[in-house]
Amino acid sequence: MDSGAEHDSLAKRTVQRIQSALEKGQIVGMPEVVRLIQELSTKAFSITTNGLAEIIEQDVAVTAKVIASANTMGYNPSGMPVNTVSQSIQIIGFERVRNLAMSMLLAENASQPFTAPEQREVASFALSSGLFAQSLMEDRDGDPEHAFVCASLCSYGRLLITTFMIDEYRRAIDLALDKGEDAAFREVFGLTPLELSFTLLQNAHLPRNILRTIQKLPTSLINASVLRPDDEMIVLSDFSVRVCELAMDVSLDAGRFKTQAGELSRLYGASFMMDEAKIQGAFAKALTRYTEFGQTYGLHRSSNNTMRVIAARSTDTSPPEDIDFMSFVPRDSEGADMRARRKSAPPDEPEVETKAPGPAVSRIDSDRLMASIRKLLELIGLQPLDLAAVYEEILDSLVKGLSLDNAMLLRCDKKQRFKMLVSHGASVSGLRRGMESISSVDHDVFGICLSREEDVLIENVSDDNASRYLPMWLKLNAPILSLILLPVIDDGALKGLFCGLRSKGGPLRLSPDVLQDLRAIRIHLATVWRMDASRPTGMKS
C-alpha cells in the first residue's frame, strides 16, 4: 500500500473513531462541554431559536451563565429582566447567544482541572483565536459574530483529538519536533488537525461559506488586492489563527514577537491591510472580553496560560517565563515549522529560507548553530577553562551559521566600556575603533540595543529605511545589507555584544528556532564569564 492510500485509510479510521465517540456521548473522562460544543458547532448555522435554547439548557451551568450575561449592561443596556435562554435570544440576539454559549463552553473546558492539559490549552486557544478574529472584524464591514465562529472552529479537530485520542496526540506532537506538524499528524492520524476539522464539519453539513474558512488558505487570496466578503472572511480567519499560534510561541519576547507579527501582517498586506498596532489592539479587545467572562462567571485569567500570553501580547510585554505549552509546535511567521526544516535540510547544502514577494533568499545553517551549542558544553566542562577556544567557537558558528561577512564579539565592563575579543572579516580593522566606543546614549542602532538590552535585526538596510540609524563610522567602513546585534545579558546586566554584518546573499531573516539557538549560545557565553570571574585572581583572563 502506498503512503497516500495508507494515510487515507488511517484518516478514515480516525474520523470513524471520533464520530463514534461523539455519537455514544459516554466516553470515560469525556467532559460534557465537548459534546455541547459539538452540537453547537455542527448546527451553528442551521439551528432554530428553540433548538439553540434546548441545547444550551442541557447544561445547567452554561444556562445560568448565558442568562447572567443577558442581564449585564454590556449585552442588555435596556435592563430588561431575563430569566430564560429563550428570553436571552430575544433580548440580545440569536448569534450573540450562540457565540456566547460557545465561548462559555470553551472557557469551561479550558479551566477543567481533571482533563488533559493539552485539551485545556486547545480549548483556550480556540476561544482566544475566535475572540481575536471577532475583534479584528469589528473594525471592518463584515460580521464579527461570524468571524468568531470561523476562527474558533479551526481548532475543532484538535480539540476532539485531545479529548478522545490523547496518547496518539502526544505521540504526534513528539514526532512533529523532527518531521513538522503536518507530516507528524498525517503519520499518526492520516490527516492534519485542520483537515480533521474540515472533514468532521463537512460531514455535519455546515454551510459552504463556513467550510471554506476551515481549509488551508489559497495563496491567490493572500496576494489579492481586492476580496469579496466571503473571501475576506477566509483570509481573516486564517490570519487570526496564524497570529495566535505565533503569540503562543513563548520563546518570542515582546520585540521578537512584534517583528514576526509584522512580517505576518506584510505577508497578508496585499488584501488585508494589517499592522502591529492593530494586532496589539485586537489582543487587548480579546483580553477585555475574557476578563468580562471572568467577572461574570468566576473564570480566573491568571490560571489560564493562553490568556496570560494574550495579556502580555496586548501590552507589548514578554510572556511569563513559567509558561510552556504542550499542544503546539512553534512555527515561524510564514507558517513553517523551523525545527522540522532544520532536520530535513540536505546535509551538504545550507538551509534556504524564502519569502515571496521579496529580495533574494537568506541562507541559514541551523545545524552549525546546534553543533556550536554542543561544542560549548564540552568546552565548559574542560579544565582549565579555555576562553580563547570559546570565543573562536562562538564567532565561527555565527559567521558560518548566519552567513556573515564581518563579525565581532565584544565584552564590556561595569562602565560599559567595550573591548573586542575576536573578529572576522575584511572590514574589521576599520570598524574596531567605532565598535569599542559604542554607547547606550547614542541615537543609533547600538544605542537602542544597549539601552533596551534587546536584540536588533535589520534585515535589509534599504528596504527598512534604516540607514539613518547606522552610525557614519559603520557606513564608511563596511558594505551592509543586513545587520544583527545580540547583547549578552547575565543577572540583569549587560556583559557583552555580538555584531554581525552581511553584505550579500539576501537579507538576513531568522526563525524562532534560530533565535532560540542564538539565545542558548549567549547563555553559555555568560556561564563561561561567570566561571572565569569566580577563578582566583591570577587565573582570570
Q: What is the mean pLDDT of residues 5-19?
A: 88
β-strand pairing of 418-424 with 456-458? unpaired
pLDDT on residue 346: 41
Give pLDDT tens digits for 31-57.
Answer: 455 555 556 556 666 667 777 777 777
3-state secondary structure of 464: coil
pLDDT on residue 350: 35
How far apart, in Å, are the Cα atoms of 260 and each of 296, 419, 457, 461? 35, 32, 12, 18
Per the CB < 8 A criterion, the answer to whether 307 and 299 are in contact is no
Q: By percentage, how much of the chain surpasses pLDDT 90?
A: 23
Q: Which residue has the higher pLDDT, 518 or 6?
A: 518
How far apart, in Å, are the Cα atoms of 391 and each of 97, 104, 379? 62, 54, 11
Q: How far apart are CA 342 and CA 354, in angstroms?
A: 14
Q: How far apart are CA 31 and CA 50, in angstroms?
A: 24
Provide the b/e sequence for 471-495 (b: ≥16 CB within 10 Å). Answer: bebbeebbebbbbbbbbbbeeeebb
User: Has residue 435 got a pLDDT over 70?
Assistant: yes
Of the pLDDT bands very low, low, confident and very high (cuts 50, 70, 90), residue 189 is very high
Give pLDDT tens digits for 56-78.
Answer: 776 666 677 677 777 765 666 77
3-state secondary structure of 408: strand
DSSP 300-335: -GGG-HHHHHHHHHHTT-PPPTT---SS-----TTS
Q: What is the mean pLDDT of residues 340-355?
A: 37
> Chain centroid to CA 209: how far?
27
**Omega before 384 within 30 of 0, i.e. cis:** yes
User: Has residue 150 got a pLDDT over 90?
Assistant: no
Q: Which residue has the higher pLDDT, 427 or 101?
A: 427
Element (DSSP H or E) covering residue 223: helix 219-223
pLDDT on residue 62: 65
Q: Which residue has the higher pLDDT, 517 or 467?
A: 517
User: Has residue 298 got a pLDDT over 60?
Assistant: no
| Dihedral sign, Cα of residue 336, residue 339, residue 345, residue 349 | positive
pLDDT on residue 225: 67
Query: What average pLDDT does the structure give for the chain?
Result: 79
**Omega before 536 within 30 of 0, i.e. cis:** no
CA angle 482, 374, 485 (to 5 degrees): 20
Domains defined along the chain, listed by start: 3-314 (1.10.3210.10), 339-539 (3.30.450.40)
The 10 Å Cβ neighbour count of residue 8 is 14
Residue 216 DSSP label = P
pLDDT on residue 388: 94
Q: How far apart are CA 299 and CA 287, in angstroms?
A: 13
Q: What is the mean pLDDT of residues 481-507?
A: 90
Give pLDDT tens digits for 410-426.
Answer: 999 888 899 999 999 99
Per the CB < 8 A criterion, the answer to whether 163 and 119 are in contact is yes
Per the CB < 8 A criterion, the answer to whether 163 and 117 are in contact is no
Q: How far apart are CA 526 and CA 212, in angstroms?
A: 50
pLDDT on residue 517: 84
Of the pLDDT bands very low, low, confident and very high (cuts 50, 70, 90), residue 402 is very high
pLDDT on residue 356: 39
Backbone angles phi, psi at 351, to 5 degrees: -65, 145
Q: What is the mean pLDDT of residues 301-323?
A: 82
Q: How far apart are CA 80 and CA 64, in angstroms?
A: 17
Among 314-318, 328-332, 391-395, the range with the most confident prediction by mean pLDDT is 391-395
Residue 439 DSSP label = -
Per the CB < 8 A criterion, the answer to whether 104 and 66 are in contact is yes
Q: What is the mean pLDDT of residues 235-257?
A: 90
pLDDT on residue 362: 57
Q: What is the mean pLDDT of residues 125-153?
A: 86
